[in-house]
């Protein structure tokens, strides 16, 4: 071997030894620092919260205590209905067939919801929609897995509430809170049996109060809604279960969700317990609800309406029509009155007044604070029982003269007010007869999203009065419009789909 080859081999061996030493050194360093095979390795870091008074379990303890206290009072309600044709439940064009090719016989249907025990002797509060199809039986599953048959004591479709009962004594009973004292942002828990998962607890806050969502309707088209809105997860099966505050008190009965996929999307609604308790007490005492009524049709008062009637600021609810022979009429309430408070409680939405009065009985008195013609005063109203007949206001006035304008001319021409998005024309004698009025002009068009449209004026409405003056022709209306300057609000009395209402429009600036 040449001298050069020997030197090259020695050099390579030397380099290899050096490289090996470096690798071993690095490996040992990694072991010493805990990166490989070190049983003493320490992961993570101590808490960075240094406050000695901080109790990281405090909030959790509250949730735990409330869950322990209330869960035993919550039950699953299993409802069985009689056999129904599947085709009506699925699709009239498709049917399920049995293996032999024959149509299967209709089978009983079963659904489940929740309920809360409200007395030691077995009364349970739940939703009407949970038990309304229970024509083949109701079974209740208690928190301890005990099963019992239940019977319906009474239902109230107007509030979507029902009371059922099981035989028992010394049953765990829920505590009632005061839903009138709830505040937006307050922590609440929803407890129930969503999607068949018994004894589920979810947490959230009160995200709104006094919600009306247009969901509840009884056979007469009457529904009482003043929902508590919460973002606590509520799903099918939660219906009838309690919404509870952090003192372990029931403040609502979970009833509905706002969703596009029939599952939780962040918006749940509960019936306030103050209303639910009054309904339950009536049902337990008499098997039905004895509810008092004022006998008014009311709407909210917006800024434009407030300006039109001389009210300092938007607030209260305005009386649109009165039930003939009703409590309000007997007490001297008039159309266009604004109800500001009931028993010293502010009223700014129709359902606030409605749900408060719904807790009362015929013969009970309520005190209303009224705004009328620039004055504020009080009226005591003795509530009466509800009249079932539909109310249609009459606008006849046989002493008023006909306008001198020709019917042909008025019926063929419409007067347009582009700034209002409104056009009107005189009514023909046939139109007046069909509408059961002998004055007024008809709205030929109310353009979508215009000033008139946004304040409730609809195509086909009949304007009976403007600025508290009776209207017989477009000329009458035109003179009133031209007498006002931009920014002024004008009060209208309108017959809309058979009902007389008050609306207000503002002359755009």
How do 338-342 and 365-372 pair as beta strands? Answer: antiparallel
| Catalytic residue flag (residue 129) | yes
For residues 218 and 227, give the distance between their C-alpha atoms in angstroms, rounded to a whole number: 17
On the 0-12 / 13-18 / 19+ scale of CB atoms within 10 A, 260 is exposed
Which residue among the candidates 239, 355, 423, 446 is catalytic per the annotation?
Answer: 239
List, in order, residues 6 or more apart from 473 with CB less than 8 Å away. 403, 405, 410, 426, 441
For residues 459 and 452, give the distance between their C-alpha atoms in angstroms, rounded to a whole number: 10
Q: What's the 3-state SS for 390-441?
A: CCCCCCCCCCCCCCCCCHHHHHHCCEEECCCCEEEEECCHHHHHHHCCCCCE
- Residues composing the chain: 509
CB 437 within 8 A of CB 463: no
* Total Cβ atoms within 10 A of residue 147: 11
Residue linked to tokens 């009970």:
364
Helix, strand or coil for residue 480? helix
CA distance to 5, 334, 477, 479, per residue, from 408 (Å): 125, 37, 19, 21
The region that residue 482 occupies, defined by phi over 0 for left and psi between -120 and 50 for alpha, beta otherwise, is alpha
Exposed e or buried b for every residue in 163-185, given b needs 16+ CB within 10 A? bbbbebeebbbbebbebeebeee
Q: Which of 216, 200, 190 is nearest to 268 (CA)?
A: 190
CB 467 within 8 A of CB 491: yes
CA distance to 161, 201, 215, 349, 469, per residue, from 223 (Å): 11, 29, 8, 15, 35
Which residue among the candidates 71, 114, 129, 476 is catalytic per the annotation?
Answer: 129
| Catalytic residue flag (residue 160) | yes
> What is the phi/psi pair of residue 297, to 5°?
-105, 120
First to last CA, the chain: 109
| Catalytic residue flag (residue 446) | no
Q: Which of 450, 463, 395, 454 is nearest to 424 (CA)?
A: 463
CB 387 within 8 A of CB 366: no
Which residue among the candidates 156, 160, 231, 282 is catalytic per the annotation?
Answer: 160
Question: What are the catalytic residues?
Answer: 129, 160, 239
């Amino acid at each position: 071997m040449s001298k050069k080859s020997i030197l090259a081999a020695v050099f390579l061996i030397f380099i290899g030894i050096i490289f090996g030493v470096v690798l071993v050194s690095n490996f040992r360093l990694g072991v010493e620092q805990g990166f490989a095979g070190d049983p003493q390795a320490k992961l993570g870091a101590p808490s960075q919260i240094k406050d000695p008074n901080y109790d990281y379990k405090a909030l959790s303890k509250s949730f735990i205590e409330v869950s322990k206290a209330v869960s035993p009072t919550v039950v699953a309600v299993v409802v069985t209905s009689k056999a129904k044709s599947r085709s009506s439940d699925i699709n009239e064009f498709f049917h399920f067939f049995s293996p032999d090719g024959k149509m299967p016989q209709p089978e009983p249907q079963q659904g489940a919801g929740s309920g809360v025990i409200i007395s030691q002797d077995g009364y349970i509060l739940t939703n009407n929609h949970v038990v309304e199809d229970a024509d083949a039986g109701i079974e209740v599953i208690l928190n301890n897995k005990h099963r019992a048959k239940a019977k319906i004591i009474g239902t109230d479709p107007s509030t979507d509430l029902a009371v059922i009962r099981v035989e028992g004594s010394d049953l765990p009973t829920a505590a009632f809170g005061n839903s009138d004292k709830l505040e937006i942002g307050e922590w609440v828990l929803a407890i129930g049996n969503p999607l068949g998962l018994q004894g589920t607890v979810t947490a959230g806050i009160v995200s709104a109060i006094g919600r009306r969502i247009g969901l509840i309707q009884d056979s007469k088209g009457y529904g009482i809604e003043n929902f508590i809105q919460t973002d606590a997860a509520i799903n099918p099966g939660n219906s009838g279960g309690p919404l509870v505050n952090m003192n372990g008190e029931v403040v609502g009965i979970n009833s509905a969700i706002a969703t596009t996929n029939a599952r939780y999307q962040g918006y749940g609604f509960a019936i306030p317990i103050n209303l639910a308790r009054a309904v339950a007490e009536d049902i337990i005492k008499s098997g039905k609800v004895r509810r008092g009524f004022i006998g008014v049709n009311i709407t909210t008062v917006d800024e434009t309406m407030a300006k039109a009637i001389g009210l300092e600021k938007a607030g209260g609810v305005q009386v649109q029509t009165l039930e003939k022979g009703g409590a309000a009429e007997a007490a001297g309430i008039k159309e266009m009155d604004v109800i500001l408070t009931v028993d010293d409680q502010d009223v700014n939405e129709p359902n606030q007044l409605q749900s408060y009065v719904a807790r009362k009985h015929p013969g009970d008195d309520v005190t209303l604070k009224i705004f009328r013609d620039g004055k504020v005063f009080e009226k005591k109203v003795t509530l009466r029982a509800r009249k079932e007949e539909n109310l249609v206001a009459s606008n006849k006035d046989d002493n008023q003269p006909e306008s001198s304008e020709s019917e042909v001319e008025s019926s063929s021409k419409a007067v347009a007010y582009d700034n209002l998005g409104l056009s009107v024309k005189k009514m023909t004698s046939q139109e007046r007869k069909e509408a059961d009025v002998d004055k007024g002009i008809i709205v030929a068009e109310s353009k979508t999203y215009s000033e008139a449209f946004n304040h409730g004026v609809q195509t086909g409405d009949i304007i009976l009065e403007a600025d508290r003056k009776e209207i017989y022709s477009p000329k009458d209306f035109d003179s009133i419009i031209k007498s006002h300057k931009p920014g002024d609000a004008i009060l209208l009395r309108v017959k809309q789909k058979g009902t007389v209402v008050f609306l207000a429009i503002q002359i755009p600036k």
